[in-house]
Amino acid sequence: MPEPHQLAADADRAAVVTRLDESLADGRLTLAEYEDRSTRAHGARTYGELAELTTDLPRPTAPATPAAAGQSPVARAVYGGAWHGAWGHGAWGNDLRAAWTSWLVTGVIVTGIWLVSMLGSGDLVYPWPVWVVGPWGFVLLARTLGERRSRDDRQLPA
């Protein structure tokens, strides 16, 4: 385990945020706790600051992939989560899962606001949520397909 005073890398911060994502998905953290901790993780400078964000979360038992064995202890902690295998390996897969989750949550919220305002006014209100979720969803879909294609290209035999 690195010393608490040593500087953490971007990959270490991303690994902690991914572990927080999984804890939110598992119901271990509330949305407010998740937002606070992920903000602090992005601003953390040392391993000690990162470690205090996950001390009350259970530790994964073992790395789920051989690639995890060569990573830092903080990065290794994120492997073995329930969502990891479904979305690919490494930071891109975890980042995509978080991006799609944000898109879905935002879509539900803005559609709910639109429905409430339409029911409250009694008139058919312009469906403005499509301008929030439509372009965002298109970009996420392109990114997802691009990541899967690049992952498939890396797995092709030479």
Residue-by-residue pLDDT tens, the chain, 158 positions: 578 888 989 888 998 998 998 888 888 988 889 999 999 999 999 999 999 999 998 886 555 554 545 555 544 544 444 334 444 444 444 578 888 999 999 999 999 999 999 999 988 889 999 999 999 999 989 888 887 777 666 665 55
| Separation of CA 78 from chain center | 11
| CB neighbourhood size of 1 (10 A) | 8
The pLDDT, as a whole number, for residue 143 is 87
| Distance set, CA 81 to CA 63, 65, 87, 99, 143 (Å) | 9, 11, 11, 17, 22
The pLDDT, as a whole number, for residue 49 is 92
The pLDDT, as a whole number, for residue 62 is 56
The pLDDT, as a whole number, for residue 153 is 64
The pLDDT, as a whole number, for residue 59 is 80
The pLDDT, as a whole number, for residue 124 is 87
